[in-house]
Amino acid sequence: MELSGRCVLVTGGARRIGRAIALAVAGAGAKVIIHHHRSASEAEAVAAECRALPSCQGAVTLAADLAQASACLALATAAEDAGPVDVLINNAAVYLKTPLASLDAASWDAVQAVNLRAPVLLARALGLAMRERGEGVILNLTDWGTDRPHTHYLAYAAAKAGLISASAGLARALAPEVRVNSIAPGAILPPENASPEYDNAVRSATPLGRWGGVSSVTSTILFLIGNDFTTGGNYLVDGGRSTR
């Protein structure tokens, strides 16, 4: 799919990797819908950055609490009204620490709602609309560590593993009109206020010896949107971290 003149919905598009994704697709000639929850001012700033790019076909923001199923469906409807949506990029996520001793139903459900249920609900609503129009692309951001989950983040790992499986199922269900892939990033950006010790530990654990930077994700996204013989895959962007 050529992005020029298309409409792309990026969930969690106000900050960090989501911001970079929004700018990348805008730079490729798309209209961008930037979803946010509470980051209204940041989302508007990203939209302004996108609109300033010569090739961008426009940028708007939409707010929704993806923990609420009804809000997911409302977001899909609003995005279609602003679009229609040709590409859905499910980037929004919550990274909630859930060690086993304190894991309860509420924390489990909170993580699953945003990280697994919301992407699937959006993919269903927008994917069916794309299929009716004859073409579309869905990309889901997962995680490199689903096969070796961190014990303090069991709910997060389970949700991302479920999203990899859901992506493959959606790819089969929506084919051949709509292609669905997932992308599993590793160490892309250091956490805000990361200590030098943490930075060194991540670099040491990554065979390429460095953080990937947002371009490692955005270039993969642009490749998967443009390559029309890819569907049902989970693409690692982890600097080799999964090999250790």
Cα-Cα end-to-end distance for the chain: 35
Specify whether the CB–CB gap between 2 and 57 falls below 8 A.
no
Q: Which two tokens stand for residue 164?
A: 């990899």
Taking Cα atoms as reference points, which of 215, 216, 209 lies closest to residue 240? 209
95 is catalytic: no
CA distance 76 to 64: 10
Catalytic residue among 95, 153, 156, 235: 156
Q: Which amino acid is at 190?
A: P
Which residue has 């924390």 as its token pair? 107
**Catalytically active residues, by annotation:** 156
